[in-house]
Homo-oligomer: A and B are copies of this chain.
Amino acid sequence: MDFSSKLLENAVNEVSRLPGIGKRTALRLVLHLLKQPKEHTGYLSEALLHLRNDVKLCNKCHNISDTALCEICNNPKRDSEIVCVVEDIRDVMAIESTAQFKGLYHVLGGKISPIEGIGPHNLKIESLVEKVAKGEVKELIFALSSTMEGDTTNFYIFKQIEKYEITTSTIARGISVGDELEYADEVTLGRSIVNRIPFEQSIKS
């Protein structure tokens, strides 16, 4: 692309560094900002800078938080002995929106992925093992996505904590509520049969 303005070129280049945004989309976004009042760009830049410079991670669960201890960890009504291990804040938000979980979270900040150069030491695994070692945890629920990276991470953590006497579980994999059986993939359908649950239990939830 051949730009008539260095300022424009620079802005487009910076925006197109964001994931999933190419040069054309970046140009469209930047031209949109130019048509809006100047304050809009100001608010946007300020919000991004403010977030990047001032954001904190909760000391206990490592979730993004404005305070040293996040609202969930700080809530006395939640069961601090049940800990759900998730990848990032989006998973916390997804589980919270179900209103089915009353324990705390532990946000790893990613999954072990040798291809992307993410090893166990780039993740918040040590502090999780520490929590377990101190006897603060009674049950650990693994809720990472069921990919190779997710399974590897689950297994790595499991190996480190299996010597402690705690319950471990993973979230159930199976056919989505409302899905037709014939369109389900074989692995999911297979697991849903192997891990079937008593009928009485299913009608209660």
Contact = CB atoms under 8 A, between A and B. Distances in A.
Contacts of A15: 44, 47-48
Interface string A60-79: 00011110001110000000
Nearest to A88: B31
Interface in A89-107: 89-90, 92-93, 96-97
Contacts of A50: 7, 10-11
Interface stretch (A33-41, A151-159, A170-178): A33-41
Interface residues of A, number: 58
Contact of A4 (B5, B43, B71): B71
A48 B8 CA distance: 9
A191 interface: no
Interface of A: 1-8, 10-11, 13-15, 17-21, 25, 27-34, 38, 40-55, 63-66, 70-72, 88-90, 92-93, 96-97
Given A5-B55, A14-B44, 11 more contacts: A4-B64, A7-B50, A11-B47, A20-B28, A21-B29, A31-B88, A33-B48, A33-B51, A34-B52, A42-B49, A45-B45
